[in-house]
Each structure stands twice: as structure tokens, then as C-alpha cells.
Amino acid sequence: MFFASDNWAGAHPAINERLLRESARFASAYGSSELDRTIERRFNEIFEREVAVFFVATGTAANSLALASVARPGGVVFAHTEAHVIEDECGAPDFFSGMRMVPVDGPLGKMTPQALEAKIARYPQDAVHHGRAAAITMTQATEVGSVYTLDEIDTLSSIAKVHGLPLHMDGARFANALVALETTPAEMTWKRGVDILSFGGTKNGCWCAEAIVFFDPAMAKELPFIRKRTAQLFSKSRFIAAQFEAYLKDGLWLELAGHANTMADRVREGLAASNSARLAWPTQSNEIFAIVRKEAAAIAEEKGAKFYDWLQPRDMPETVAGDEMLIRLVSSFATSSDDVDAFLKAIT
């Protein structure tokens, strides 16, 4: 009954097996091996165009270095108020990019075009005292389990283009969003105007594999130096490449995300029928937020259920009564229907 986070899950056997095979051989270091190169090219196929790819260890590193690559003195980066880059990265994006993350409001974890425009207007290009607009970062799937529609991505990217700002996407749960929208990697990114993507593998079956993807390789020319100076150039980078090889082979990544999303559907259905819990807001990916009677949550925890208490977002549609609490549940590639059913039984 592990619903605390998708990064509590282990690694998929196919990825472990590939790592094991990799560990038995020699290859050149620092991203120069044939395997590194082959997997970088594999991303071209996945995204249906030539991209520049950089392997890093964590999602925080991917976000921070992606933003560092578009850094401008006095620059500010617009992100949703609850974005991981603002709330959960201890200021790493600010530290590595030298820019400030500025919060933009919007319900269900998504920036609204109006709120984004209003914030951009406060940071004109000559605002030497306030700082100037430099980039926009959006999260797909969002931190609160919702997914931007393709039209919504279009709208944000049009705003980015009008203001000449690069658009970054935090895709720690990229695969979950892709499956939820039933679309392609190209459609959800560069075809909608996304410039840089943090492509996550760790939450979806890898052991430790993240990549920064530039849809215009010319934008990536500083990244080799940024990555080295931020200590993210692994000498045994091929072990990240090896994970991605297995992850991207025969659609494994989409299969795993599809499974996680299906398990989340099962949780959502179960909670909708429960007497002691209800969904706090609608979600489309592998994250579920529920308002639960405290007593029921305590019983479930006693029975071994793992989940996080969650701080109520400002614009939460439902109210949480005194004897209730908000919790977050996350399913993963490793969640089984039995886990879900046991959890639902424990909480209801």
C-alpha cells in the first residue's frame, strides 16, 4: 500500500537487467560512449526531430540547468505558485540560473493566461530595479495531478512567443501526461512551442535517469559547460543511457505510465464510492488528492498504508472540515490492483 510517491517504487526489471549487462563491460567515459550517442539519437526518433539531449541525475538538476541555459542577468522565470521549482527545489533553479522564480496563480496547478500576462507585465525588459522577464516554466503533468491540454499549452506558448521568452516544461511525469492525453511526445512539446523539456524517467521505472531535451540544438550550446560546472556530468553517464535504452525500448515507458494511470483511475473510482473519503479535485495523471476523515486515515496508516498529508492549495474547490484532512496518493508502475483494493478497504 505504497502511495506516498512514485519515487518510492523500485526500478523495473528490464531496466535492472540492462544495468546489469552494462556493468559487465568497459566503455569510454563522460558521455562519449557509443551507447550515450545511440540513446541521444533515440530521443530524435521519440521526438520526431533532431534534439540535443543531456543526461543528468535528478529532476531538480534538469530543471535548474535547463533554466540556467536561458539565464539573463536580472532575469525572472514565471512558474505556477505550486511549481516544484518554487516549492520543492530549495532554490536550486534560482541558485544555478541566477534568476528569480516568480509565482503565477491558477486553479488546478495550471497558470492561467491572464495571471501569466499580468505577471509578465510587471517585469518589462528595461525594469532594472524589478528584474526582467526571461523564461516561463510549466509542469506537465502538474504537481497537483492535472494535465495541461494541448490547447492550454498552445496558449502559454503563444504568450511566451509574443514576449520573446523561452518555454520550459518540467516533465518529471511527462509519460503520465502523455498517456493521459493520448498524444505524442512531439505534439505535447515542440509542436506546441515548448523549447526545453526536463524529461523524467526516475518516477516511472528507472533507477536514476533524467534528461534535458532542447528542441533547437542551437539553444544548447552552453549546456555542456553548465552541466560540468554544476557537477552533473557523470563519468559513467552510460549507465543513465542504459536505463533510457530499456525504458524507451518497445514503448516500455508508455506501458509503465499507462499502468500507473490505470491504477490511479482505480483509486479514484474507489474513493468516489467511499463514505470516509472524497476526491479533493479532479486529476488525470497518477496523482490523486483526497479529503479523508482523520480517523479513517489513521486506521489506514495503522494497517500499513503510506501516503502524505498535503497542505491545502489556496484555490482548493472543496473545504476540509475539522475532522478531515487532505492527503496525496500517487500510483506508480509498481502499484498492483491488490495494493489499490487493500488501500480502499483500509480507508473505507
Ligand X SMILES: Cc1ncc(COP(=O)(O)O)c(C=O)c1O
Which residue lies nearer to ligand X by CB, 170 or 324?
A: 170
Which residue lies nearer to ligand X by CB, 155 or 286?
A: 286
Q: How far is the CB of 55 from ligand X (least distance, A)?
A: 13
Cell 512567443, residue located: 161
Binding of ligand X by 172 (CB under 6 A): yes
Order of strands across the sheet that contains 52-56? 52-56, 210-214, 196-200, 167-171, 132-139, 75-80, 100-104
Binding of ligand X by 287 (CB under 6 A): no
User: For residue 79, which phi and psi values (nearest 5 degrees)?
Assistant: -145, 155
Q: How far is the CB of 170 from ligand X (least distance, A)?
A: 5
Q: Identify the residue among 170, 195, 324, 339 touching ligand X (CB under 6 A).
A: 170
Which residue lies nearer to ligand X by CB, 202 or 237?
A: 202
The CA R_g of the chain, rounded to the nearest whole Å, is 20
Which residue lies nearer to ligand X by CB, 139 or 332?
A: 139
Q: How far is the CB of 288 from ligand X (least distance, A)?
A: 14
Which residue lies nearer to ligand X by CB, 225 or 308?
A: 308
Which residue lies nearer to ligand X by CB, 61 or 300?
A: 61
Q: Which residues contact 107 (CB under 8 A, 6 or more apart)?
A: 315, 317
Within residues 41-60, the interface with ligand X by CB under 6 A covers: 58-60
Q: What string marks each residue from 57 to 86 as x (binds ligand X by CB under 6 A) or -?
A: -xxx-----------------------x--
Which residue lies nearer to ligand X by CB, 92 or 223?
A: 92
Binding of ligand X by 144 (CB under 6 A): no
Q: How far is the CB of 131 from ligand X (least distance, A)?
A: 24
Within residues 188-227, the interface with ligand X by CB under 6 A covers: 202
Binding of ligand X by 230 (CB under 6 A): no
Instruction: Give dist(CA 3, CA 311) in Å, integer.
Output: 17
Q: Which of 139, 105, 98, 138 is nearest to 119 (CA)?
A: 105
Q: What contacts 24+ positions apart, CB below 8 Å, involve 86-91?
A: 87/143, 88/60, 88/143, 89/60, 89/63, 89/64, 90/60
Q: How far is the CB of 278 from ligand X (least distance, A)?
A: 24
Residue nearest to ligand X (CB): 59
Which residue lies nearer to ligand X by CB, 33 or 69?
A: 69
Q: How far is the CB of 10 from ligand X (least distance, A)?
A: 16
3-state secondary structure of 148: coil
Q: How far is the CB of 161 from ligand X (least distance, A)?
A: 24
Q: How far is the CB of 197 from ligand X (least distance, A)?
A: 12
Within residues 292-331, the interface with ligand X by CB under 6 A covers: none
Cell 539531449, residue located: 53
Element (H, E) at 179: helix 174-181
Instruction: Give dist(CA 151, CA 156) in Å, integer.
Output: 9
Using alpha carbons, list the distances in angstroms from residue 15 to 57, 105, 153, 247, 298.
16, 38, 31, 7, 36
Which triple of cell numbers denotes residue 103? 509565482
Site size with ligand X, rule: CB under 6 A: 9
Q: How far is the CB of 34 from ligand X (least distance, A)?
A: 27
Binding of ligand X by 259 (CB under 6 A): no
Total Cβ atoms within 10 A of residue 333? 24
Which residue lies nearer to ligand X by CB, 12 or 173?
A: 173
What number of CA atoms fall less than 13 Å from residue 37's CA on the CB side?
6
Within residues 76-135, the interface with ligand X by CB under 6 A covers: 84
Task: Evaluate the CA torsion angle 171, 173, 176, 181 in order and state its sign.
Answer: negative
Q: Which of 183, 173, 179 is nearest to 206 (CA)?
A: 173
The residues of the shown chain that bind ligand X, judged by CB under 6 A, are 58-60, 84, 139, 143, 170, 172, 202
